[in-house]
Structure 1
Amino acid sequence: MTDYRSAAADYLATRRAMGYKLVYQGQMLAQFVAYLDTVGAEHLTINHAVDWAKQPSSAKRTWWAVRLSTVRAFARYLSAFDPATEIPPAGLIPAPSHRIVPYIYTDDDIAELLTAAGRLPTVHRADTYQTLIGLVAVTGIREGEAVRLDRDDVDLQQGLLTIRNSKYGKSRQIPVHPSTVEALAGYAHRRDARRYRHDGRQHHHPPSSTSFFTSTTGTRLLRDNVSTVFPRLVRESGLAGSGHHRPPRLHDLRHSFAVNTLIRWYRQGLDVEQRLPLLSTYLGHVAPKSTYWYMTAVPELLELIADRLDAIEVQP
């Protein structure tokens, strides 16, 4: 009988060494391996994969497809060591595939979000979320990249942010505007001057965490908490009822940054195609083709592109 736990551990270690995070896939795979042990599977079969993927039976087909996709990748790896392994074919549990249309924030939208964040309980929490949202809005960095920033990653003298071990294990440095440096410096000063709760009491000392963004207890701000608080800010700012098909996400600020950068370049008459690799590098994409995913068509951007094309066509 195959030692599925060891095989899964080796598989995850191999993929992660290649730069893949596989956070939720790792959790799913652990559950699948436990299932195989429970049913006493001699070999991984398609029936095993499908039976497990369709749990719970009340879940959406999209969720089933995600679970089966995780098993399929593992089965391909396992088949090299156990030829009797059956690899679930693609499309076995078809799921509707569509791109999530991002919400493109206006300046007024961001101002409303910052105002809502300013009403959060405790001064430090409000300050933290205002600064975090503002940073994502003006740099387009990923939510996880912002939360993982350490103090040493924020160079206020050089105006540089160091993004470490991000998607595919890559790191990069990005310059930020002097106004952003000023905002980050102000937050850092206020952060270290505040009292932090500990065991129900407040202590006047700098937080012990190396994290740049901290909680009210001085520890690293958790991404799960950000994912809970931000939808609340969206509702309180009135953006949840904006007529969009779904409430705006924090990640949509990244899309907005990319689109607004293009709009600015077109307005300045710059060669957008030539500069696109710069935007791709800034956003941490492996190639410009990945950046096109963020190029949501908005009326102003379409108008600027059309004007540029018209200008090219009339040239002798």
Structure 2
Amino acid sequence: MNWGQHLQDYLAIRRAMGFTMERHEKLLTQFTEYLAAHGAATLSIEHALAWATSPDAADARWWAARLSMVRGFAVHLHALDAVHQVPPHGLIPHSRRRTVPHLYTATEIAALVRAAGQLSGPLRAATYQSLICLLAATGMRVGEAIRLERADFDADLGLLTVRGTKFGKSRQLPLHSTVTAGLQEYLHLRDRLMPQTHSGALLLSARGFRLRYERVWVTFHPLVIQAGLTPRSPSSGPRIHDLRHSFAVATLLDWYREGADVQAMLPRLSTYLGHADPKHTYWYLSAAPELLALAADRLHTHQEDPR
């Protein structure tokens, strides 16, 4: 059974439909290697479940996420040959409670940037400092940031072009002048430290390659500890993805405080964040008690307005 070829066929179909499939490719490659190592001629529920739950210490939600990726691949294979089994939904019970995001303060973000500055090697330190600042200032996804090409940054116009997003669309992000200046400073430094690179990426690793998603997560966790950040919720600690949540909430808070028409402005934030539907942006309204209080106060004022 040529598992590798079947996987590539499946990924090609999904990408043709607009999905990036980066994470799926990594995990499903591991799964097909597991099947090959066990001499499996067909995809069985037993093998799928054994692989999905193989990280013994992982949360059930992570097991369920792994199994969900296998399920999509299994559906594809089952359509080709009914001998392949499709794992049913709900096979791994888990809580669907959404993780409470850590909303970073400006002080905490500054502490993270200082901690990143202590990383070994001047280019590595500068890259992670720039990555953290970019995520905090634009709310882009981590994967979007590390996929940026140098050519995607227009310093003259103060624009970043984000290509190949989660939903297959590209978008342009106007940057604050301080962000533009910071990226220019980073590029001057990396050109001096590494004139010859192995990648056209905007953000480079210490060896001149594009940053890897998994490595970014591994590097970020010690920075949280070094910065002295502590979880605000027992269910979750500060994550790098929470910089995106923090940007969205801070933007909404600013609009409320300025008396802006948040309802009318929300589609702009959705577009900036790259959400496929504004309804996904509404979730941020419940992310901070202060934001909910401001929204409630706005509603109360509106109800009392005789007009």
User: By the TM > 0.5 criterion, same fold?
Assistant: yes
Opposite residue 79 of structure 2, the aligned amino acid is A
Q: Which runs of 5+ in 2 are unaligned?
A: none
Aligned counterpart for 2:256 among listed residues 253, 266, 284: 266
Matching residue of 2:274: 284
Matching residue of 1:139: 138
CA distance in 2, matches of 1:58, 1:239: 24
Find out whether 1:214 has 2:213 as its counterpart: no
**Greater alpha carbon shift after TM alignment, 165-174 vs 213-222:** 213-222
Aligned counterpart for 1:301 among listed residues 270, 291, 297: 291
Q: Deviations over 1:115-146 (max 9, x none)?
A: 22222233333222222211111111111222
Matching residue of 1:130: 129
CA contact (8 A) 2:231 2:238 kept: no
CA distance in 1, matches of 2:56, 2:222: 30
Could you tell me the TM-score, scaled by structure 2's length?
Answer: 0.87
Opposite residue 215 of structure 1, the aligned amino acid is S
Identity %: 49
Q: 1:123 to 1:284 in 2, by over 3 A?
A: same
Could you tell me the TM-score, scaled by structure 1's length?
Answer: 0.85
Q: Deviations over 1:7-56 (max 9, x none)?
A: 43322211121122333433444454455564554x54544544554446
CA contact (8 A) 2:155 2:180 kept: yes
Q: Deviations over 1:189-234 (max 9, x none)?
A: 222123x4xxxxxxxx354532222233333333333222211111
Q: 1:108 to 1:18 in 2, by over 3 A?
A: same
Moved over 6 A (4+): none
Q: 1:151 to 1:35 in 2, by over 3 A?
A: closer
Matching residue of 1:95: 94
CA contact (8 A) 1:147 1:221 kept: yes
Matching residue of 2:165: 166
SS in 2 for 1:225: helix
CA distance in 2, matches of 1:127, 1:84: 52
CA contact (8 A) 1:104 1:255 kept: yes
Find out whether 1:23 has 2:16 as its counterpart: no
SS in 1 for 2:247: helix
Shift of 1:236: 0.8
Paired residues in the alignment total 305
Q: Deviations over 1:156-178 (max 9, x none)?
A: 00110011112132211111111
Q: Which runs of 5+ in 1 are unaligned?
A: 197-204
CA contact (8 A) 1:160 1:173 kept: yes
Matching residue of 2:192: 193
**RMSD after superposition:** 2.6
Q: 1:311 to 1:135 in 2, by over 3 A?
A: same
SS in 1 for 2:125: helix
CA distance in 2, matches of 1:48, 1:22: 22
Matching residue of 1:201: none
CA distance in 1, matches of 2:234, 2:55: 30
CA contact (8 A) 1:259 1:294 kept: yes
CA contact (8 A) 1:18 1:168 kept: no
Shift of 1:106: 0.7
